Amino acid sequence: MATQSKSSNSRSAKAGATKVKSGAKQAKSGAKQVANAEKNQAQVVAEAAVDIPVGAVLRVTDRVGELVEPFTDRSSAERKIKAYRSELRRTLKRTERRGTTARRKATTEAKRTRNKVEREAKKTRTRVEREAKKRQRTVETSLKKNRAEVEQRVRRAIDEQTSRAQEIVDQVTDQIAALR
């Protein structure tokens, strides 16, 4: 039994060592994959850093060539200038039409707004005048009523005073007649 346990111990030790070696190999392999991925990413960034300026130079070169090419001989240069003039004329006409349209719209809108404000002002003025006349009639009616009432009170007071004065005159006349 002792030999068996030794051999099983050595087998399990070997299996453990194999597992450790296998784990180390996997870790090393994973590290290599990460390093390769980082290397590939750095390579892509470096290539882009070089390719962008080169592409920009090539694009500028092509554009300059396109701009210069029509002017290499006299007839093509004249044609190109004529085309530019035509395009400029068309653009100018289009701009003028847009300006005319915008001016007309603004003028129409201004007239419409002015008419609307005038209508509202007229409505307001008419309403205010109507209200003023109504208040004036109310005041005049109140004045007439108060005047009539005051006149009636004054007449009554005059009549009362006149009748009292008459009574006093009659009394004085009676007293004078009695004295005679």
Cβ neighbour number for residue 80 with a 10 Å cutoff:
14
Identify the CA nearest to 50 among candidates 61, 42, 38. Answer: 42
Cβ neighbour number for residue 57 with a 10 Å cutoff:
10
Q: What's 1's DSSP letter?
A: -
Q: Average pLDDT in the 23-43 region?
A: 75
Q: Cα(118)–Cα(124) distance, rounded to whole angstroms?
A: 10
pTM equals 0.39
Half-sphere exposure of 79 (CA within 13 A, CB side): 8
pLDDT score recorded for residue 123: 97
| Structure confidence by residue, pLDDT tens digits, 112-130 | 999 999 999 999 999 999 9
pLDDT score recorded for residue 111: 97
pLDDT score recorded for residue 34: 76
- The pLDDT mean for the chain works out to 84
Q: Cα(93)–Cα(8) distance, rounded to whole angstroms?
A: 101
Q: Which amino acid is at 32?
A: K
> Which is higher by pLDDT, 89 or 81?
89
pLDDT bin (cut points 50, 70, 90) of residue 149 is very high
Give the position of tokens 């390093």.
35
